[in-house]
Structure 1
Amino acid sequence: LWTDEATGLECKCRPDWMTTDGQLIVDLKTTEDASPAGFRKSIANFRYHVQAAWYLDGIERATGRRPDQFIFVCVEKKPPHAVAVYAASVEMVATGAITAEADLARLAMCREASEWPGYSNQIETIDLPPWMRPRPDGQQPVGVAPEIEVY
């Protein structure tokens, strides 16, 4: 546990596993695709870069010593449950730290104002996704079944 100096918010982290000397943090992830390209998508979709930065910063604040690496052990959800191991890059962690700092500042502002982001309070018009819209050439949109003639 630690208190963020900029916002005064109480913070915490709980790594899946850490070496006894605190120099290596390991996080176990299940994923659809453990390939480098697939897991990069998971990093972006689930903000794993923010988690890596948060844990590294948290352990440093708790122990006074920053871990050397943050490791992802990725296990695919479907057989044969392929496994890949990745170390978070310096750039990934730096980007995650910037995002985490912005998230904390936003959380502090929301708490202070008692106003939380959400969806519109008005009735909004919604349309089909672009890939379902009629095409100018008269062809069926991609992903839409052609009309069936009834005899």
Structure 2
Amino acid sequence: MGQVAFDTLQATEDLETVGMSREHARAISLIVRRSHEVADVATKADIADVKRDIADVRKDLSAEITDVRKDLSAEIADVRKDMKIQSEKVDAQFADVRKDIDTRFEKVDAQFADIRKDMNNKLEKLGLSLTIKMGGMIGFLVVSIGLMLKYLR
């Protein structure tokens, strides 16, 4: 803060001119000078300086905020790109896993189909074998019963 200029010699002379004693005029001038030394009085120039400083700080802060916004926007865009890439990678991995699972299910289905064919073939052979054996047994029984009836008569 600037101080108001006070000329003690001029003040003393002015007080003496109006009829005050030299000692009184000198004492009053010193008191006024000391009060000006102690008082922080803001001048118009001081206020203008403060206003300029505030305006400069506002400009600087505005520029910094703009820079920070640009930086954040760029970082957010980078993070979004990274997330998109990661998402695409995960999607590709899921697609691969699905393909693997589908392939395994197809193999299992084929194995079940082969097992069914084998079982059907074996059951058919078993059925044919049983039919032949039962036919033979029935034939044997018919012949045996026929012979028994012939001997019993």
Bigger fraction of residues in helix: 2
- Please report the TM-score for the alignment, with normalisation by the length of structure 2: 0.20
Bigger-Rg structure (1/2) = 2
Task: State the structure with bigger RCO (CA 8 A, min sep 6), 1 or 2.
Answer: 1
Bigger fraction of residues in strand: 1
- Please report the TM-score for the alignment, with normalisation by the length of structure 1: 0.20
